[in-house]
Structure 1
Amino acid sequence: MDCSAEEVVDTAGFGFGSSLRLHKTDEFSSVFAFRRVVRGKYFALHYCPNKVGTPRIGLVVAKKLAKRAVVRNLVKRLGRDVFRHAQATLPHYDLVLRLSAKVGDVTKRTMREEMIGLLGRLPK
């Protein structure tokens, strides 16, 4: 039986396909325009209801707050991972996770815990 790695991940329920992401500027703009946000110390989670039927996420990490590409990529990777594990319990929202403070010497655990906390504070 020939299985690709992508098929195995999808059967586990933790895939992160194109349908779970926000791609276009209009999609991001509509979330920001809805003006609902849950704030933490380092992140802001903007949200608005969608008609797709599944939660979707977009990530915004400004160079001003995370100068190095390695740090920006780490923040986005952590955000996608937290979303991937929580998506089954999330309401049908378009979400934008935005870095809102310099991360400096913040640990990965601290960032992950804050992201999980923000997703838990979303209205049902």
Structure 2
Amino acid sequence: MSAGNTDPQAVSRSFRPAYRLCKTDEYSSVFAFRKAVRGRYFVLHYKPSEYACARLGVVVAKKLARRAVLRNLIKRMAREHFRHTREILPCHDMILRLNAPAKAVSKAELRGDLAGLFRRLPK
């Protein structure tokens, strides 16, 4: 963040390490909880968090998105949507996983599926 930027919204919408799932055990515990919301292209696995905020992890398999450019785009889109909706999301640990090939899918379709999953997440 630059020294001239003092907008409090910019600070609160960052994707800080506190909002990320990083460790293998964190991912394993979410997958073991076995609750998920399914969309056309994604599955959103979730479990109630011990922390006071929502946290996100993203999994994009090479099998479903062969090119690194596409995998990185999907991850960026997921993080961006999470950053903008984090304040209204319930306190869950979540893993967003690509579940269908995304080779010929438009960005608008992916964004729509992401938004639908986060809206259907139980409170």
TM bucket, shorter chain = over 0.9
Amino acid at match of 1:3: A
Which runs of structure 2 are paired with 1:85-104 in the superposition (5 Å)? Answer: 85-104=84-103
**Which residues of structure 1 form unaligned runs of 5+?**
none
Deviation (angstroms), 1:48: 0.1
Runs of 4+ in 1 over 6 A off after TM superposition: none
Q: Does 1:65 align with 2:64?
A: yes
State the SS of the aligned residue for 1:118: helix
1:33-44 maps to which residues of 2 (within 5 A)?
33-44=32-43
Spell out, residue by residue over 1:18-61, the C-alpha distance to the aligned partner (whole angstroms, 9 max, x if none).
00000000000000000000001100000000111100000000
Counterpart-to-counterpart distance in 1, 2:28 and 2:4? 35
> What does the per-residue CA deviation read over 1:38-88, in whole Å, with 9 as the maximum and x for residues that have no partner?
001100000000111100000000000000000000000000001011101
**Could you tell me how far apart the structure 2 residues matched to 1:9 and 1:71 are?**
32
Q: How many residue pairs get matched?
A: 122
Shift of 1:104: 1.4
Partner of 1:82: helix, strand, or coil?
helix
Identical aligned pairs, as a percentage? 49
Calculate the TM-score normalised by the size of structure 1: 0.92
Deviates further, 8-17 or 72-81: 8-17
Q: Secondary structure at the match of 2:46?
A: strand
Runs of 5+ consecutive residues of structure 2 not aligned to the other structure: none
RMSD over equivalenced CA pairs, Å: 1.7
